[in-house]
């Protein structure tokens, strides 16, 4: 029997993909709840917060943009940090292009849904191609809907609270970043880059305007890449 939505796919595999997609969507929806609350606590209004989830739709960049703005980093540093963190999505798109094969205008919509989770799901189901496409789109749509609902609820919830600092929301910001960082610390190189990035940012904090120390840590990644390239 074939999957109801995707004829090229067996019903059992289709069901498993849908179940996994919903599970990922619910987990990221919970994350969006904290994003919405933190963004409003920092000073964005609920509409700006929602616009980020609808338009930017890539969690680490959204979190970084509001985090740098909240730390007094200014618009340029906030935008640059969001861009640099979003650069990896372009690499995901490169890996997904031969798998999903979007043509013409489909590239425009496929691009918006190209994030960590959809890439992982699509690449985990390479065969048949219909499975990769189903994994990508079901995960993407589940996350998009729940991410935006989570953002709305979190933003409106925080807007109703008088003093977010008393609730420890300022501690929730680094906790959110460390939860994003954690799964990437897979080997010694990643740990070394992470520690170097943190040390560089802290060392430059008293010297540079807020926001710039984080951007300077991006240079650590370039230096580490160059060193690794020389070793090969």
Q: Are 151 and 49 in contact (CB under 8 A)?
A: yes
Q: Is 181 in the site for other proteins (CB under 8 A)?
A: yes
Total site size for other proteins, rule CB under 8 A: 101
Q: Is 64 in the site for other proteins (CB under 8 A)?
A: yes
CB of 219 to other proteins, least distance (A): 8
Q: Which stretch binds other proteins (CB under 8 A): 1-9, 44-52, 124-132, 139-147?
A: 44-52
Judged by beta carbon, residue 3 or residue 212, the one nearer other proteins is 212
Q: What are the φ/ψ torsions at residue 85 (nearest 5 degrees)?
A: -70, -30
Judged by beta carbon, residue 82 or residue 155, the one nearer other proteins is 82
In three state form, how does the secondary structure of 128-148 look? CHHHHHHHHHHHHHHHHHHHH
Judged by beta carbon, residue 102 or residue 129, the one nearer other proteins is 102
Judged by beta carbon, residue 9 or residue 215, the one nearer other proteins is 215
- Count Cβ neighbours within 10 Å for each residue of 151-172 and write b for 16 or more, e otherwise: bbebbeebeeeeebeeeebeeb
Q: Is 202 in the site for other proteins (CB under 8 A)?
A: yes
Q: Is 184 in the site for other proteins (CB under 8 A)?
A: yes
Q: Is 52 in the site for other proteins (CB under 8 A)?
A: yes
**Which residues lie below 8 Å from residue 110, measured CB to CB, with a gap of 6+?**
93, 96, 100, 102, 136
Q: Is 151 in the site for other proteins (CB under 8 A)?
A: no
Quick one: tokens of 175? 């906790």
Q: Which of residues 90-119 bind other proteins (CB under 8 A)?
A: 90-98, 102, 107-108, 110-112, 114
Classify residue 169 as left (phi > 0), alpha (psi -120 to 50) or beta: alpha
Residue in 90, 99, 64, 89 with CA at minimum distance from that of residue 79: 64
Q: Which of residues 15-34 bind other proteins (CB under 8 A)?
A: 27-28, 30-31, 33-34
User: Tokens 């960590």 map to which residue?
Assistant: 116
Q: Is 146 in the site for other proteins (CB under 8 A)?
A: no
Judged by beta carbon, residue 127 or residue 163, the one nearer other proteins is 163
């Amino acid at each position: 029997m074939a999957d109801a939505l995707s004829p090229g796919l067996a019903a059992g595999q289709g069901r498993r993909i849908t179940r996994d997609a919903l599970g990922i969507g619910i987990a990221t929806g919970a994350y969006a709840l904290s994003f919405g609350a933190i963004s409003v606590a920092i000073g964005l209004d609920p509409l700006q917060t929602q616009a980020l989830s609808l338009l930017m739709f890539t969690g680490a960049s959204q979190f970084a943009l509001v985090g740098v703005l909240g730390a007094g980093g200014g618009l340029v540093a906030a935008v640059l940090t969001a861009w640099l963190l979003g650069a990896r999505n372009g690499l995901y798109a490169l890996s997904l292009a031969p798998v999903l094969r979007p043509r013409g205008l489909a590239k425009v919509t496929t691009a918006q849904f190209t994030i960590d989770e959809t890439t992982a799901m699509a690449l985990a189901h390479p065969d048949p191609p219909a499975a990769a496409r189903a994994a990508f789109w079901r995960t993407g749509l589940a996350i998009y809907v729940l991410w935006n609902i989570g953002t709305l609820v979190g933003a409106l919830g925080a807007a109703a609270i008088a003093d977010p600092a008393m609730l420890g929301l300022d501690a929730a910001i680094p906790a959110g970043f460390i939860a994003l960082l954690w799964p990437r610390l897979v080997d010694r190189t990643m740990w070394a880059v992470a520690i170097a990035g943190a040390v560089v940012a802290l060392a430059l904090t008293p010297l540079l305007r807020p926001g710039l120390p984080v951007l300077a840590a991006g240079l650590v990644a370039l230096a580490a890449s160059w060193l690794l390239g020389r070793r090969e």
